[in-house]
Amino acid sequence: MTSDKRLTLALDHDRDIDPNVLQSRASSPDASSWVSASAGSGKTKVLTERMLRLLLPDKNGVIRTQANKILALTFTKAGASEMAVRIQNKLSEWVIADDDDLKNALEKLLLRPPNQKDLNAARRLFAEVTDTPGGLKIMTINSFCQSVLSRFPLEAGISPQFVALEDDESSRYLKRAYQNMTKQVLSDKSSPLAQAIHSFSEMMNEDQLDNILQTLCNERYQIEQLFNKYFDADGIHTNLCTSLGIDPMLSIDQAFFDFCALTTEQESLLYQACKALANGTEKSDQPMGIALQSWLENDIKARIKNYPAYRLLFFTTQDKIRSKLCTAGVTKLDPDVPDILLAEANLIVDFDDKLKSIKCAAATRDLFIIAQHLLDEYQLIKEKNNALDFDDQILKTLKLLKGQSMNMAQEDVAPWVRFKLDQGIDHILVDEAQDTNPEQWEIIQLLTYDFFDGENAADNDRTIFVVGDEKQSIFSFRRASPEKFNILRRWFQEKINHAKKIFDPVDINISFRSVSCVLDLVDKVFQNDAMRNGLGENILPHKAFRTGQPGLVELWPLFKTEEKEPIHPWDPPITVQDTQSGAVMHANHIAQTIKGWLDAKEPLESHDRPIEAGDIMILVRARNAFVGQLVKALKTNCIPVSGVDRMTINDELSVQDLLSAAQFALLPDDDLNLACLLKSPFIGWDDDILFDYAYERQSTLWQSLRDKCHDKPLLEWLNNLIAQSGQKSPYSFFNTILQRACPLKNKSGLKALQYRLGQECLDPVNEFLNLALHYELDNAPSLQGFVHSQQSDKTVIKREMEEAGKAVRIMTVHGAKGLQAPIVILPDTIRVSSSIITDKIIWPDRSKYDLPFFIPRINDAPSYCLKAIETVKLRAEEEYKRLLYVALTRAESRLYIGGHVGSKKPLDDSWYHYIENAFNEMDGIEEIYINDIEQPIRRFTTENTALNADKKSKQNNFIDKSDYDIPSWLFESIPQEPAPPRPLVPSRPSVPEVTVLSPLGSQDNQRFIRGNVTHRLLQLLPDIDPEMWEQRALDYVAKASHQFTQEVQRSIIQETLTILHHPEFSPIFGIGSMAEVSVTGMLDDKILISGQIDRLLVTDTTIMIIDYKTNRPPPKDPKDVPVLYYNQLKAYAKALLKIYPDKEVKTALLWTDGPHLMPLDVL
């Protein structure tokens, strides 16, 4: 039976048989498989089961492979972690499972009854995998490349101590490379590089240039290949000019000269047209004839200058050739004039295209001049720092496997490297294959080089397993494409079939994620051929595993911006028109809808519980202004929201206000920055107040404030900023601003920000403080350095949102790839312009041309490039539709689609209209009206037949509790657990301690320090040689931190040595005694004590507890000892009696002033 017939049979019976049949077939280790799995079909489960089946023996009991010979490559670290956790959990379950449970699990996995060898092997796997060096190799392609390079650094031509760069570090290195490159320009302003940078500065702003530089960095492999083929930028320019049909040496000026230097014949024909136009009778004839003749009578220099006016004679303002170049009267006078004028218009068209070609070729040459110098500088900086970015890791590994880094043949180095990688790789598994770019695919092909080639190819059991979904290929900016997915599938199929091995392509379209109504909508949206373009070669309708489970899909009406009433020109502007944009209304509707669910505890029937905030995922196409409005609306309605999945810190207003405060502290004379600070939420000035101090000032704004301003709290706050800038770390500086009162109504800085900007300012502020902390870990804690780093770099915070938590998630569709949620809302479904080319560089791998070209403005594209541009646009449109597929299939049970429009008319090929067209063709659509929306909400639902049946089954199995004796406590709430007792510290007074001082003595302010020092000496000195007591005591007492006078030092030493030398106290400080003994215990009255005994002596029959007291003078009679001291010793004695119930406990106070040992009877 062919694979197609098997697939058809499985699909026809997918509800009558185990729905895991296709998954089991795909996970079979006996064949190499290429799995096209639709969204929600359990790709991770298939990967996990295949790896487990590879580790288990075959039906003959032969072990298939060892754990270190399997390599699983995933797209994200989160995916790798999830897969590793699943395998570890499964293996740990097998270890402790009883035989019956293990047999059932293995039979379900292996699709055959397991034997004893299978059971034994399954129980051993956990230990074997754990003992495998490095564990299972489940990692991203970048992590794999990093591990390869760390094992072969010399062969790869890199330092063994290389460091992997993160994205933000790579950006800083790239910016530094550009700065170094511009320094070269300053030293030689006539160089080709200087001319190239000058040309670019006229074509784009700084942000656009940053994007171009990042693109060049990302495309360095293509650039390297182009330089290998065409040598340098001039070589690319020469070949591009040939393709464009122009001379590489032709300049703009020369082209103008050639066009305006008319041939004799051409000039004669144009004069002939002038004559006819001059004799024309229509109003427009003579003016055109005069303008044409005037241009002809000029010299070439004047013709060049007046070319734009001359061109307008033949073209409309829409840049089209005029439909009528002359009137019927002129044609009647001279029938040749229309053809003469049309021929001239066509010459102008050709000339314009030639100008565009010259500009395009020159811009492309300048681009690659910059690219060559930039990448060389970037590489030099990385080498100095022993650093590799993500692309380096891929490219270095690729070159290593090709032998290019060692000048060795590919067939020699690749098997050797693979063999050294834990003695070879026998099985490779690739996840999310549709997102793999060409260089990554090339690495995978090289790793499988001898899987299916060579003399022994037919004898080995090596396999490759690839799973992906071309319908979900949405990362073209990483150069992934669905075409490559299909090309590689055919390439592997041919290789495997040639090796006479089994290649089993499997298409899985059973969704375990979404309910039927969601999948029905998806199928209806993509049912026609126009919508299917770009989704893949073979699109099957989705099958819902969750048939009969409840769900709904809603299409909300568009929210349109309210139109303003027209104002008569002479009406005074005394009224404010309060209008809301469609985006704000849409955001408020979403927030109020969610609030209604949460407040009403609306049931989520598919989960049999109320809806929670964490069940909701809101997906947008891009992080635009609407996202901010949405976050604000959610927080205004007190809905927990996790914020956006990515934010640029420096673009947040709250962060800009904090940086403004720091910049003022560092440079108070910056007038513009101080003006911004004065108008910030911290101070809250308006323009009128600022004007009073700024207008006609004789010096800086700061000086004007100090001279004229009488707001003392404001000046103190500003002066404190200046003082703190040189004293505090960046984190402390900003935290002080946020926590302390600011001039605005005595609010804290954080409250002031919230008052002005709302609750949504908290997320960026917290992330900003985190950046300050991280900066201090890696750099000197300089405020100036931190502010400079923030101004130089655009720090982007990425949040991992795999787990829902307890808050609404707002994510881009790209960020939500691989995730799901019970409720998904799609609000960003309208577009007002078609897909545009954001990357101005048209690369060969996208255009299918041999050469790249750079087009700063799309209207400047020569005709040669238009086909390539259309190809790129078509690909962008196809990805736009695939992005919709990914967005729709994130929903488990509920899907809500909305949209909003402003002043511009939306396009008919927006997501919203695609979905609206699908609703128009679906049956069973309800229309629901709610108060605040004029148009109806359209809803499509599936009934909860499966859950109803389940509930009926539970009701039928209900047991009446009256049949049994049920204890009463079963229906009572568990009493609150009593709080644990708070530890009582015996040495800490619970009543005021009586201060015993001589009435004739002076107040000794250092008595507490003196007591601590005496205690410390009595603790340490008994453990050292008595001959060294005096010197060690002098060294300790004389420490500057104690600040004792010479007299007090001598007094303390004498007092301490007297105690230690006293014969009465020798047992206390002798062998077996202990100092500073911690004691914790529970007394009979359930009081927990925790304290420290100054000196403890335990003998065979007695326990001696000594506590030092430094009261000066001490009491002579035990009756005069404060109650606190009695209680302290009593607590210690009771605690030790529980440990030594057979010993006699004695207690005493050792008064250091004397010294005098006073026994006390406390029990």
Q: Which DSSP string corresponds to 182-250?
A: HHHHHH-TTSHHHHHHHHHHHH--HHHHHHHHHHHHHTHHHHHHHHHHH-SHHHHHHHHHHHHTS-TT-
Please report the pLDDT score of residue 730 as a whole number: 92
CA angle (605 as vertex; 601, 606 as ends), nearest 5: 130
The model carries a pTM of 0.74
Structure confidence at residue 554 (pLDDT): 96
pLDDT at 533: 82
The two structure tokens encoding residue 1056: 């301490």
Residues 243-252 pLDDT 10s: 999 999 999 9
Higher pLDDT, 1 or 80: 80
Q: 335: cis peptide before it, omega within 30°?
A: no
Query: In this model, does residue 1153 exceed pLDDT 70?
Result: yes
Kindly report, residue by residue over 62-76, the tens digit of the pLDDT: 888 888 889 999 988
- What is the overall mean pLDDT for the chain? 84
Predicted confidence at residue 595, as pLDDT, reads 94
| pLDDT for position 889 | 95
Residue 993 has pLDDT above 70, yes or no: no
pLDDT one-digit tens code per residue, 583-615: 999 999 999 999 999 999 999 988 889 999 999
Question: Could you tell me the fold of the domain covering 648-798?
Answer: PCRA; domain 4 (1.10.486)
Round to whole Å and give the CA distance between 1131 and 1108: 16
- For the ranges 175-179, 392-396, 1112-1116, the lowest mean pLDDT is seen at 1112-1116
Task: Count the neighbouring beta carbons within 10 Å of the beta carbon of residue 194.
Answer: 17
Domain segments of the chain: what residues? 3-90+136-157+392-512, 163-385, 551-563+580-644+804-942, 648-798, 1007-1160
Give residues with Cβ within 8 angstroms of 478, minimum separation 6.
435, 437
Q: Residue 1117 and residue 1115: Cα distance in Å, rounded?
A: 6
pLDDT of residue 415: 67
Q: How much is the pLDDT for 988?
A: 47
Per the model's pLDDT, the better-predicted residue between 623 and 678 turns out to be 678
Q: 616: helix, coil or strand?
A: strand
**Using CA atoms, how far apart are residues 620 and 1067, in angstroms rounded to an integer?**
80
Question: Which pLDDT tens digit goes with each residue over 179-230?
Answer: 899 888 888 888 999 999 999 888 888 888 888 888 898 899 899 999 999 9
Whole-angstrom distance, CA of residue 1154 vs CA of residue 1054: 11
Q: Which range, of 257-271, 484-498, 568-582, averages the lowest pLDDT?
A: 568-582
CA–CA dist 1093, 1015 (Å, integer): 11
Cα angle value 833/852/866 (rounded, 5°): 45
Q: Which CATH class is domain 1007-1160?
A: alpha beta
Long-range contacts of 558-562 (CB under 8 A, 24+ apart): 558/582, 558/830, 558/898, 558/899, 558/900, 558/901, 558/906, 558/912, 558/935, 559/583, 559/585, 559/586, 559/589, 559/898, 559/899, 559/900, 559/901, 560/900, 560/901, 561/900, 561/901, 561/902, 561/903
User: How distant, in Å, are the alpha carbons of 732, 1010, 1021, 1094, 1156 from that of 1069?
Assistant: 49, 20, 9, 11, 15
Q: Is the pLDDT of residue 673 over 90?
A: yes
Tokens of 1009: 């320090």
pLDDT reported for residue 1016: 78
Sign, CA torsion 383/385/391/397: positive
CA 1085 to chain centre: 57
Instruction: Write down the pLDDT at residue 446.
Output: 87
What pLDDT score was predicted for residue 834? Answer: 61
Q: What are phi and psi of 1005, to 5 degrees?
A: -70, -10
According to the model, what pLDDT value does residue 977 have? 56
In angstroms, the Cα distances linking 175 to 210, 792, 1131 are 8, 9, 69
Report whether 1135 contacts 1093 (CB < 8 A).
no
The partner residues of 810 in beta bridges, in order of sequence, read 618, 644
- Which tokens hold the place of 345? 């218009």
Nearest 10 degrees: CA dihedral of 1099, 1105, 1107, 1108? -20
Say how many C-beta atoms besides its own lie within 10 A of residue 426's C-beta: 19
pLDDT at 1000: 37
- Tell me: pLDDT of 976 over 60: no
900-914 residue pLDDT tens: 988 777 778 889 999
The mean-pLDDT minimum among 340-344, 819-823, 1010-1014, 1121-1125 falls in 1010-1014
| pLDDT for the residue numbered 1080 | 79
pLDDT of 527-562, one tens digit each?
A: 888 888 878 766 778 888 888 889 999 999 999 887
| C-alpha span between 34 and 1128 (Å, rounded) | 78
The amino acid occupying position 1150 is: L
pLDDT > 90: what percent of the chain? 39
The pLDDT tens digits for 726-778 are 888 999 999 999 999 888 877 889 999 988 887 778 888 998 999 899 888 87
The torsion defined by the Cα of 1039, 1042, 1045 and 1048, in degrees rounded to 10, comes to -100
Residue 635 has a pLDDT of 87
Fold of 3-90+136-157+392-512: Rossmann fold (3.40.50)
Same CATH fold assignment for domains 3-90+136-157+392-512 and 551-563+580-644+804-942: yes
Helix (H, G, I), strand (E, B) or coil at 137: strand
What does the pLDDT read at residue 132?
85
pLDDT tens column, 1031-1067: 888 888 876 445 677 788 888 888 888 888 877 777 7
| Predicted confidence (pLDDT) at residue 45 exceeds the cutoff of 70 | yes
CA distances from 686 to 681, 683, 704, 706 (A): 11, 9, 17, 19
Q: What is the pLDDT of residue 992?
A: 42
| 774: number of Cβ within 10 Å | 12
Q: How much of the chain is helix, strand and coil, in % rounded to 5?
A: 55, 15, 35
In this prediction, residue 456 has a pLDDT band, given cuts at 50, 70 and 90, of low
Mapping DSSP onto H, E and C, the string for 263-299 reads CHHHHHHHHHHHHHHHCCCCCCHHHHHHHHHHHHHCC
Comparison of pLDDT for 492 and 951, the residue scoring more: 492
pLDDT of residue 956: 45
Residue 960 has pLDDT above 80, yes or no: no
pLDDT in tens, 804-827: 578 899 999 988 888 899 999 999
Query: Which range, 570-574, 891-895, 982-986, 1112-1116, is most confident?
Result: 891-895
Q: Chain-centre distance of CA 902, in angstroms?
A: 30
Distance CA 933, CA 585 (A): 10
For residues 1041, 1044, 1045, 1047, the Cα torsion angle rounded to the nearest 10 degrees is: -140
| Residue-level pLDDT at 522 | 94
State how far the Cα of 1102 lies from the Cα of 1079, in Å rounded to an integer.
Answer: 17
Residue 1076 has a pLDDT of 83
Q: What is the pLDDT of residue 872?
A: 87
pLDDT digits (tens, 9 = 90+) for 160-190: 999 999 888 888 899 899 989 988 888 888 8
Of 554-568, 633-647, 843-857, 982-996, the one with minimum mean pLDDT is 982-996
Looking at the domain that runs over 551-563+580-644+804-942, which CATH code has it been given? 3.40.50.300
Does 894 have pLDDT greater than 90? yes
